[in-house]
């Protein structure tokens, strides 16, 4: 007798991506698919940069002093913008970092907590950039990319290691500094999103270590992570349907 559709879909994903570091691979795959779609829609492969209208179609976040933040009108873009990238260099750097840092977090904290930290800190990063560009600088902007969530994962590693009194937290802090430097040199970066993501990730990692009975919350975190994974895909679809 065939199993439920959800089980079959889950088995297909596991078969395609493997079971080790499944969520890290899944989010890399989502970013890659969105990048291919935006590249095809734009008609050419850019090393750095993209057609603003095309990336807006697939989930980028924008704003200007005249109408404010698009995220206020379409809040799902705080999530969908994580999976949109401006050119080949942008996505290559981000996905290399996600493969490196994502596996470290998923291995230590589990797939559910990895997903929650990555998505939540990515959204917080874009909220922080909204405040920076819309309120403080009052300047037009177009932003996207997974780096807010990446810095959130690095922050979580540092917070977790610090709470555990593991001297590895210094190594993770060095990794954070190198990552920030590479991004700053190679790419036009959104520092507000990076700072916001890191600031949200560090306490989440600290609290993850301080959980007294983590297995008791695992089912709850599993459900939340599953919902956020579905929401990630839905956010891109909504951005494509409701093009500003």
pLDDT in tens, 119-165: 999 999 999 999 999 888 888 999 999 999 999 999 999 999 999 98
Q: Kindly state whether residue 125 falls inside one of the protein's structural domains.
A: yes
For tokens 């954070």, the residue is: 176
Question: Which CATH number fits the domain that encloses residue 145?
Answer: 1.20.1540.10
Mean pLDDT (the chain, rounded)? 88
Q: Quick check: is 3 in a domain?
A: no
If phi over 0 gives left and psi between -120 and 50 gives alpha, with beta otherwise, what is residue 124? alpha
Residue 1 falls inside a structural domain: no
Residue 143: inside a domain, yes or no? yes
CA 24 vs CA 27, 110, 149, 204: distances in Å: 5, 11, 12, 18
What domain range includes position 161?
18-241
Q: What is the DSSP letter of 146?
A: S
Quickly tell me which residue has 């179609």 as its tokens. 57
For the chain, the maximum distance between any two Cα atoms, rounded to a whole number of angstroms, is 60
Q: Is residue 80 one of the residues assigned to a domain?
A: yes
Distances (CA, A) of 155 to 25, 118, 124, 203: 20, 10, 13, 8
Q: What's the pLDDT tens digit per position in 47-62? A: 888 899 999 999 999 9
Q: What is the C-alpha separation between 88 and 17, in angstroms, rounded?
A: 22
Burial class (CB in 10 A: 0-12, 13-18, 19+), 108: middle
Task: Write down the pLDDT at residue 213.
Answer: 77
- Compute the distance between CA of residue 129 and CA of residue 45 in angstroms, rounded to an integer: 27
CA quadruple 153, 154, 158, 163: dihedral, nearest 10: 0
Query: Which residues, 6+ apart, have CB-to-CB distance to 226 below 8 Å?
Result: none
Look at residue 139 in the predicted model and tell me its pLDDT. 85
Q: State the DSSP code for 74.
A: S
Indicate the number of domains in the chain.
1
Q: Which of 170, 165, 181, 145 is nearest to 50 (CA)?
A: 145
Residue 4 lies inside a defined structural domain of this protein: no
Q: Could you report the per-residue pLDDT of 125-137, keeping only the tens digit for each? A: 999 999 999 888 8
* Residue 35 belongs to a domain: yes
Q: Is residue 109 part of a domain?
A: yes
Lowest model confidence (mean pLDDT) among 9-13, 51-55, 79-83: 9-13
């Amino acid at each position: 007798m065939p199993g439920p559709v959800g089980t079959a879909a889950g088995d297909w994903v596991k078969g395609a991506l493997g079971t080790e570091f499944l969520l890290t691979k899944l989010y890399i795959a989502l970013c890659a698919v969105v990048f291919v779609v935006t590249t095809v829609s734009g008609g050419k492969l850019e090393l750095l940069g993209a057609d603003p209208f095309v990336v807006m179609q697939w989930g980028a976040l924008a704003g200007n002093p005249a109408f404010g933040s698009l995220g206020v009108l379409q809040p799902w873009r705080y999530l969908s913008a994580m999976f949109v990238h401006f050119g080949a260099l942008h996505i290559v750097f981000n996905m290399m970092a996600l493969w490196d840092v994502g596996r470290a977090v998923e291995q230590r904290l589990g797939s559910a907590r990895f997903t929650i930290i990555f998505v939540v800190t990515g959204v917080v990063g874009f909220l922080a950039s909204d405040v920076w560009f819309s309120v403080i600088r009052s300047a037009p902007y177009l932003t996207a990319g997974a780096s807010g969530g990446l810095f959130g994962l690095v922050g979580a590693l540092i917070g977790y290691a610090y709470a555990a009194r593991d001297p590895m937290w210094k190594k993770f802090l060095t990794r954070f500094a190198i990552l920030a430097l590479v991004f700053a040199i190679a790419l036009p970066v959104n520092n507000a999103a990076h700072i916001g993501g890191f600031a949200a990730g560090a306490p989440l990692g600290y609290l993850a270590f301080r959980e007294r009975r983590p297995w008791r919350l695992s089912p709850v975190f599993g459900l939340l992570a599953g919902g956020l994974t579905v929401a990630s895909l839905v956010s891109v679809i909504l951005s494509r349907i409701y093009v500003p």
